[in-house]
Copies of this chain bind each other. A is one copy, B any other.
């Protein structure tokens, strides 16, 4: 499969296709035309065809898409058919909430451990996922293959912990801390800056008035 040179706009849309196809499968739908998918998702049918053509198509003219097949193929493109080991840094409410999302696991994102510096939290667990002392993080990373580090800690500590994750071989950081992390070129960062999302909403609220 040829994935090179796919625009980031297409990549951003793929998880949404994946979600709709998952819903359709759950509803027992076996086949769907690009027109039906188009009206369901409020995007044009030609957009859908173009997006999926980036990966070789998947549809037969006049027959539409096989829902389960397309779901599987998009899953492969998104690499959710593989297991990724995650550690969550920060055992507060937010870290707990993320560790509790069983849906992540179903998509191959398996949280192996949560790290915190608070002695009252260390030794506990969330759904059997142990909460370990942050001091153990370097040794843990050496022993376990961890691909993704999730940062749910205050911004002042985020860069220091990032450096430890990177030194321990982590190749992707899912960053909820409110700063831009410095990482080597071969380490990916996906930011979820909640305040910034909220400010976009308030901007648009202000614009409407």
Contact = CB atoms under 8 A, between A and B. Distances in A.
Interface of A: 3, 11-12, 14-16, 18-19, 41-42, 77-80, 82, 84, 92-94, 96-98, 100-101, 103-104, 107-109, 147-148, 171-172, 174, 178-180, 186, 188, 190, 192-208
A195 B104 contact: yes
Given A201-B188, A204-B188, A205-B79, A195 B147 contact: no
Among A12, A14, A179, A198, max chain B CB count under 10 A is at A198
A188 B208 CA distance: 10
Contact of A202 (B79, B92, B208): B79
Contacts of A11: 200, 203-204
Contact of A198 (B174, B179, B193, B195): B174
Contacts of A194: 98, 101, 192
A203 B103 CA distance: 17
10 contacts: A12-B196, A78-B202, A78-B206, A79-B206, A93-B93, A93-B96, A93-B97, A109-B198, A186-B208, A190-B201
